[in-house]
Structure 1
Amino acid sequence: MMNFPVFVLCLFMVFFAASCTEKEDNPPLPNIILLMGDDHGWDETAYNGHPHLKTPVLDEMAAKGLRMDRFYSASPVCSPTRGSVITGRHPNRYGTFSAGWSIRPEEISIAHLMKQAGYATAHFGKWHLGPVKAESPTNPGAMGFDEWVSHDNFFEMDPTFSVNGADPVVFRGEGSEVVVAEAIKFIEKAKTNQQPFFVVIWYGSPHEPYSGLPEDLALYDNLPEAYNERMVKLTSNETGQQVERPQGEVLRERFAEITAMDRSIGQMRDYLEDKGLRDNTLLWYFGDNGTPQEGNATVPFRGEKGRVYEGGVRVPSVLEWPSRIHEPLVSGMNAVTSDVLPTLCEIINQPLPDRPLDGISLIPMLEGITEERPVPIAFWNGRARQQAADVREPYIDLELQKGTTPLVKLMDGIATRNFHNFRHPDIREEDFGGPRALLDNRYKLVIHGETGEEARRELFDIVEDPAEENNLWESHSETGKNMERQLRDWQQSVLESLVGEDYR
Structure 2
Amino acid sequence: MAACVVFCSVCDAREHSGNRPHIVLVMADDQGWGQTGYYGHPFLKTPHLDDMAAHGLRLDRFYAGGPVCSPTRATVLTGRTHERTGVMSHGYPLRLQEKTIPQVLAKVGYVTSHFGKWHLNGIRGAGIPILQNDERRPDAFGFQHWLSVTNFFDMHPLMGRRGKTEGVFEKKRGDSSEVVVSEALRFLQEQLVKDPEALTFTVIWFGTPHSPWASLESDSEPFVQLSFQAQRHYGELVAMDRSVGTLRSGLQKLGIADNTLLWFSSDNGGLPNKDFQPTVGQLNDSVDGMVPLRGSKGTLYEGGLRVPSIIEWPSRIEPKISQFQAGAFDMFPTILDVVGLPEETMLPVHDGVSLCQLFDGEPSERNKPMGFRWNGGGAWIHGRYKLVVLNTKKSKQNKSSQELFDLVADPTESKSIAQEKPIIFKQLMREYVLFSESIDKSMRGKDYPLGRLNEPDPEPKRWASDETIYTPFRKVFEEEQKLLEKLTKPAKSD
- Identify the residue that residue 188 of structure 1 maps to in structure 2: 189
User: 8 Å contact 1:292–1:305 — kept in the other structure?
Assistant: yes
Cα deviation for residue 25 of structure 1 reads: 4.1
Whole-Å separation in 1 of the counterparts to 2:71 and 2:135: 17
The structure 2 residue matched to 1:437, chosen from 363, 374, 379, is 379
Per-residue deviation, residues 301-358 of structure 1 (Å, max 9, x unmatched): 1111000000100000011100001x31100000010110000001001233242001
The alpha-carbon distance between structure 1 residues 371 and 285, as it changes in their structure 2 partners (threshold 3 A), is: farther
> Structure 2 matches for 1:195-210, cutoff 5 A?
195-210=198-213
In the alignment, which of 83, 86, 94 is matched to residue 85 of structure 2? 94
Structure 2 residue 240 is matched with structure 1 residue 254: no
Give aligned pairs, total.
407
SS of equivalent to 1:141: helix
Q: 2:279 aligns with which of 298, 315, 319?
A: 298
Give the C-alpha shift of residue 144 in structure 1: 0.2
Equivalent pairs: percent with the same residue? Answer: 42
Aligned equivalent of 2:157, options 156, 159, 163:
159
Deviations 1:68-114 (A, max 9, x none): 00000010000000000010001101221111111011111100011
Shift in CA distance, 278/467, structure 1 to aligned 2, threshold 3 Å: same
> The residue matched to 2:257 in structure 1 has which SS?
coil
CA RMSD across the alignment = 1.9
Contact 2:220 2:231 survives alignment (8 Å): yes
Deviations 1:415-447 (A, max 9, x none): xxxxxxxxxxxxxxxxxxx11010122010001
Kept after mapping to 1: 8 A contact 2:14/2:340? no
Amino acid paired to 2:419: E
Is the 2:57–2:321 Cα contact (8 Å) retained in structure 1? yes
Higher-Rg structure is 1
Match of 1:103 among 73, 86, 94: 94
In structure 2, what is the Cα distance between the partners aligned to 1:117 and 1:155? 33
Contact 1:365 1:371 in 2 (8 A): no
Deviating more after overlay: 492-501 vs 296-305? 296-305
Corresponding residue for residue 9 of structure 1: none
Q: 1 CA distance for matches of 2:364 and 2:102?
A: 29
SS of equivalent residue, structure 1 residue 200: strand
User: Which digits, 9 at most, give the CA deviation of each residue in 1:337-394, with x for residues without a partner?
Assistant: 0110000001001233242001111111122241421111001104xxxxxxxxxxxx
2:406 equivalent to 1:461: yes
Query: TM-score by structure 2 length?
Result: 0.80
The alpha-carbon deviation at position 24 of structure 1 amounts to 8.2
Measured in 1, the distance between the counterparts of 2:392 and 2:371 equals 17
Which one is further off, 105-114 or 369-378?
Answer: 369-378
Structure 2 residues not aligned, in runs of 5+ = 1-12, 124-129, 281-291, 451-494
Structure 2 contact 42–278 (Cα < 8 Å) conserved: no
- Say whether 1:368 aligns with 2:366: no
Residue aligned with 2:141, SS? coil
Aligned position for 2:473: none
Alignment pair present for 1:285 and 2:264: yes
Q: For 1:492, which of 437, 447, 459 is the aligned residue?
A: 437
Q: Is the 8 A contact 2:56 2:320 kept in 1?
A: yes
Asked if the contact 2:100–2:141 (Cα under 8 Å) also holds between the matched residues in 1, the reply is yes
Match of 1:477 in 2: 422
The secondary structure found in structure 2 opposite 1:219 is helix
Matched position secondary structure for 2:258: coil
Cα distance per residue 1:26-55 (max 9 Å; x no partner): 442100000000001100001011101110
1:211 to 2:214 alignment: yes
Judged with a 3 Å threshold, the aligned counterparts in structure 2 of structure 1 residues 150 and 165 are, in CA distance, closer, same or farther, namely farther
Structure 1 residue matching 2:447: 3-state secondary structure:
helix
Letter in 2 for 1:48: Y
Residues 217 and 256 of structure 1 are in contact (CA less than 8 Å); yes or no, is this contact kept in structure 2?
yes
Which residue number in structure 1 is paired with residue 134 of structure 2? 136
Q: CA deviation at 1:453?
A: 10
C-alpha contact 1:117 1:350 (8 A) present in aligned 2: no
Partner of 1:422: none
